[in-house]
């Protein structure tokens, strides 16, 4: 899901997806990983990557900005 994240956001390599109780990856993220492998937890709550890709990418952009400003 995050294969092309660096193409959309400068300096953002990927987001850190959470696993469910069976160890399967979910659509919920707990933070981001920079292109330098720096891990930053979300300042607010987890972010859910669901729905139309344009919508959740837009909301992810807002979530990243709020976290970095926080």
CATH placement of domain 5-69:
3.20.180.20
Determine the pLDDT at residue 9: 81
The number of C-alpha atoms within 13 Å of 40 and in the hemisphere containing its C-beta is 21
- Is the CB of residue 6 less than 8 Å from the CB of residue 35? yes
The whole-angstrom separation of Cα 46 and Cα 30 is 5
Domain ranges in the chain? 5-69
Per-residue model confidence as pLDDT tens digits over 18-33: 999 999 999 999 999 9
- pTM for the complete prediction? 0.79
Residue 2 has pLDDT above 70, yes or no: no
Write the DSSP symbol of residue 35.
T
Q: Enumerate residues 6+ apart whose C-beta is below 8 A from 63.
A: 42, 44, 47
The whole-angstrom separation of Cα 25 and Cα 68 is 25
């Amino acid at each position: 899901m995050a294969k092309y994240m660096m193409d959309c956001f400068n300096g953002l390599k990927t987001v850190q997806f959470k696993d469910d109780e069976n160890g399967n990856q979910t659509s919920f993220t707990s933070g981001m990983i920079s292109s330098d492998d720096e891990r930053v937890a979300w300042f607010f709550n987890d972010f859910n990557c669901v729905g139309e890709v344009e919508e959740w990418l837009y909301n992810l952009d807002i979530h990243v900005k709020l976290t970095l400003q926080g």
